[in-house]
Structure 1
Amino acid sequence: MKLSLGPLQYFWLRERTLAFYRAAADWPVDIIYLGETVCSKRRELSTRDWIVLAGELAASGKQVVLSSLALIEAESELGVLRRLVDHGGCWIEANDLSAVQLCRERRLPFVAGPTLNVYNHRALAMLMDDGLRRWVPGVEQGYSLLRELRDAMQAEGRPMPELEVIAFGRLPLAFSARCFTARALDVGKDQCDFRCIDYPDGMPLATREGRPFLRINGIQIQGEEVTDLGPELPALRELGVDVLRLYPQAAGMAEMVAHFHLARRSPVAPPRIGARNGYWHGEPGMHMTGLA
């Protein structure tokens, strides 16, 4: 079972971002995803910077995947996507069907990201014909749904692609053309002054009663809890999961990678460090407590 470092969901300063990934070159992760998936206005690193960083990490022995935006709204954003695809040195994480189309035209292998909304085996098989090699299911697709899809693929004699499951991090729940951070700070989206850089783990959003509820991250809404599928490793192995995705957090990421590295080599499931993921158990997503 491999470990991947998912794409950075937050907006960090350039120096912090580069330092994070250069440290990650020495971590026991097999795959590193690079690039902006949330907001095209986040330009602390240019497209060229991401490509150069990809070369550095590949030289350290990592498989590098260049991730695309989840919501493409402008021709300029398509232009950035074309540059990533035309680079040709890495797989692409397609988080939008525009990326699937470009990879298909160029006959490039790609990863189907969690925002592609693949819910049945026929859609998965069609994408495999287009070049899909690895699939990251959506956050709400738990064990039972994935097992049913796997069984349906096997019944039709189709092999499953590599299966990558989000095992640690705040879950990306929704995207919108409207910037939630700008709205929360009462500024226009086009006059946001990149204020989300002040929230390296997203902006906390509480209920009227003061209960922690969600995280605002630009045009993205995340769950509040940092979920942890470590204790579910036996079920993940039984399901045939190939890759555990760990989403970057502002602090303690090296320690979390080390924790999962030890866990994947142990026959015993590790204790839960983060929250329980209700989706994985076929329950409402809000059922995310720290209890096993």
Structure 2
Amino acid sequence: MKFSLGPILYFWDKNSVLDFYRTAAESPVDIIYLGETVCPKRRELRLEDYLTIAHQLREAGKEVVLSSMTLLESPADLRELNRYCDNGEFLIEANDVGAVGLLNERGLPFVAGNTLNCYNQHSLRYLMKMGMQRWVIPVELPLRWINAMLASSEINDVRECFTTELFAFGHLPLAWSARCFTARAEGKPKDQCDLCCNKYPAGRTVTSQEGEILFTLNGIQTQSGYRHNLINDLPTLHNSVDIIRLSPQPQDTFVWLERFQQQAKNPILFPLQKPDCNGFWHEQAGKELIIASSGAH
């Protein structure tokens, strides 16, 4: 089982991003995803900057993947996507079906991001025909559903042709909108947002009138209010999941990476409590935290 760091979903300043990847280069993580996937206005780093980081990480022994934008809203976004596809060196994580089409036209393999609507074996087989070599599983899918897809007759005979990756730690990316809810909360129009999301390096928490955490606002992206954490479910994944993804957090990302890797070697019941959740994985409401003995499901 390998471990990956997904793209940074929040808006961090350039120095924070560079510091994070310097630490990542020295960490035991196997795969690192680079790129802005949420908002095209967040341009602290350009493609050239990410390519420089990518070369440094590759020299440190890491596999590097460039992640595409999830919601394309302008011709400029499409031009940038083409530049990513034409980088000539690094695999692309396609987070939009348009990226799938562009990569297929070029005859290039790709990683199918978890934002693609792939919920059955027919969609999965189609992505394979388009050039997919890794499937990042949609965050809503429970283990039973995943196993059924992988065991289906459409997939069983080609299962060895692609790997699977699971978003196992971090606030779940749930939805994207043409509106920016962070700017709206600040009383700013989207076109004059002043990049106010940079004040929220872990997103902005939304609570109900009763004080319950509901969501995390991250610019145009809506995330889960609680932090998704499947550390106690690792023993159940060996036959279905090849790569475990941790989503970068402002604090303790590499502490949790070490915990996950230790759990993969020597499973124990890790003491979880709110604000962690794992409901989707156990076919419950996503915000729920299901406590089970390590290795049980």
Q: How do residues 133-282 of structure 1 correspond to structure 2 at under 5 angstroms?
A: 133-153=133-153, 157-159=157-159, 161-238=162-239, 240-266=240-266, 268-273=267-272, 275-282=276-283
Contact 2:104 2:131 in 1 (8 A): yes
Give me the whole-angstrom Cα distance separating, in 2, the residues matched to 1:155 and 1:19: 41
Secondary structure (helix, strand or coil) at the match of 1:171 reads strand
* Over 6 Å off, 4+ runs: none
Deviation at 1:126, TM superposition (A): 1.3
Contact 1:228 1:272 in 2 (8 A): no
Say how many residue pairs are matched.
Answer: 289
Q: Deviations over 1:251-281 (max 9, x none)?
A: 1112111111212222x24514462311111
Contact 1:233 1:269 in 2 (8 A): no
Structure 1 counterpart of 2:71, one-letter code: L
Q: Deviations over 1:101-160 (max 9, x none)?
A: 111111111111011010111111111111101111111111111011011146762325
Q: Sort the Cα spacing of 1:166 and 1:156 in 2 relative to 1 into closer, same or farther, 3 A.
A: closer
Q: How do residues 14-93 of structure 1 correspond to structure 2 at under 5 angstroms?
A: 14-93=14-93
Contact 1:153 1:159 in 2 (8 A): no
Secondary structure (helix, strand or coil) at the match of 2:152 reads helix
TM normalised by structure 1 equals: 0.95
Give me the whole-angstrom Cα distance separating, in 2, the residues matched to 1:47 and 1:215: 27
Deviation at 1:52, TM superposition (A): 1.2
Structure 2 counterpart of 1:132, one-letter code: M
Q: Deviations over 1:24-80 (max 9, x none)?
A: 001111000000010000001011111111111111110000001111111100111
Q: Sort the Cα spacing of 1:138 and 1:177 in 2 relative to 1 into closer, same or farther, 3 A.
A: same
Secondary structure (helix, strand or coil) at the match of 1:25 reads helix
Contact 2:38 2:219 in 1 (8 A): yes
Q: Does 1:124 align with 2:124?
A: yes
Give me the whole-angstrom Cα distance separating, in 2, the residues matched to 1:95 and 1:69: 6
Tell me whether 190-199 or 102-111 shows the greater mean CA deviation. Answer: 102-111
Deviation at 1:213, TM superposition (A): 1.5
Q: Deviations over 1:182-229 (max 9, x none)?
A: 111111001100000000000011111222211000000001111211
What is the RMSD of the two structures over their aligned residues, measured on CA atoms?
A: 1.4
Give me the whole-angstrom Cα distance separating, in 1, the residues matched to 2:238 and 2:272: 19
Contact 1:178 1:189 in 2 (8 A): yes
Contact 1:133 1:162 in 2 (8 A): yes
Structure 2 counterpart of 1:222, one-letter code: Q
Q: Deviations over 1:152-192 (max 9, x none)?
A: 14676232521101111110011101001011111100110
Deviation at 1:98, TM superposition (A): 1.1
Q: Sort the Cα spacing of 1:88 and 1:164 in 2 relative to 1 into closer, same or farther, 3 A.
A: same
Give me the whole-angstrom Cα distance separating, in 1, the residues matched to 2:252 and 2:185: 28
Structure 1 counterpart of 2:72, one-letter code: I
Partner of 1:288: 289
Secondary structure (helix, strand or coil) at the match of 1:144 reads helix
Partner of 2:102: 102
Q: Sort the Cα spacing of 1:152 and 1:44 in 2 relative to 1 into closer, same or farther, 3 A.
A: same
Secondary structure (helix, strand or coil) at the match of 2:79 reads helix
Q: Runs of 5+ in structure 1 lacking a partner?
A: none
